[in-house]
Structure 1
Amino acid sequence: MSRLPHILLARSGICAIVLAAAAGPAAASDHVVTIEQMRFSPPTVKVHSGDTIVWVNKDLVAHTASAQASTFDSGSIAPGASWRYVASKPGSYAYQCLFHPTMHGTLIVEPKP
């Protein structure tokens, strides 16, 4: 058996270790909540501090994403528009659409890993 495949595998393993070490702490992520058919989907979103949540309104009417604890409030999100929020403080935040109070969601913010 040739030694070349073993050398390549060894070099690949070293590269993988170097790349993993260079990655460092987890980068912030984007999460999407779709507003469609008069509901938030997914209804519960779990994120880390520093992550961005984007609410995208695919309905034919305006909606809001308004935390019941006044932590965040999108204001009116027009049909076809979106709103971004960067989660900063860990906790669980119930929210709803102020125009349509039967629409509920929950944003869970965990500490950054």
Structure 2
Amino acid sequence: MKLLACVSQTWGIARSCLVVCAGTLTVGAGAPSATQNPGAKTYTVTIEGMRFNPQTLTVRRGDRVVWINRDLFPHTATANSKAFDSRSIAPNVSWAYRARTVGEFDYGCTFHPTMRARLVVEPRAKAPITRTNRAGTLR
């Protein structure tokens, strides 16, 4: 009888842990919603032939930049200011960065110092605020 009570109690604790863990995974899961980055776009920089293409890229704050290494050897995309650093990007692998800080960022490959480029991050234009009165009509 003691064994049955022990198994029953252990199963109850395990089931409780499983419910809590599953709930935590559900709450924390998912990609950022569009409301967190409304209007955000994704841009691509290709690394090929020992060059970044485009050499200068202008994006808005909140946009995503993806570097794709199409070369035969590893490269990095490392900002001089250390604002971002991809570390080593292997051939046929990509690395993404969300542009959160406004400014001009010169960057390059730490393995190949002659590879240089620039990322310009501009502020995101704010959407106009629309206000409604209590009747629900626009003012």
TM bracket, shorter-chain basis: 0.7 to 0.9
If each structure's strand is expressed as a fraction of its own residues, which one has the higher value? 1
1:55 matches 2:67: yes
- The residue type paired with residue 66 of structure 1 is T
- 1:106 equivalent to 2:118? Answer yes
Alpha-carbon displacement from aligned partner over 1:31-56 (angstroms, at most 9, x marks no partner): 00000000000000000000000000
Structure 2 stretches of 5 or more lacking a match? 1-36, 126-139
Q: Which runs of 5+ in 1 are unaligned?
A: 1-24
Which residue type is aligned with residue 45 of structure 2?
A: V
| Matched ranges for 1:27-42 at <5 A | 27-42=39-54
- Give the aligned partner of residue 72 of structure 1: 84
Corresponding residue for residue 20 of structure 1: none
Amino acid at match of 1:104: R
- Tell me which of the two structures has the higher relative contact order, counting C-alpha pairs closer than 8 angstroms and 6 or more residues apart: 1
CA distance in 1, matches of 2:80, 2:101: 15
2:87 is aligned with 1:87:
no
**Cα deviations across residues 14-39 of structure 1 (Å, max 9, x unaligned)?**
xxxxxxxxxxx961000000000000
CA distance in 2, matches of 1:60, 1:52: 25
TM-score (norm 2): 0.63
Shift >4 Å, 4+ stretches: none
Q: Which has the larger radius of gyration?
A: 2
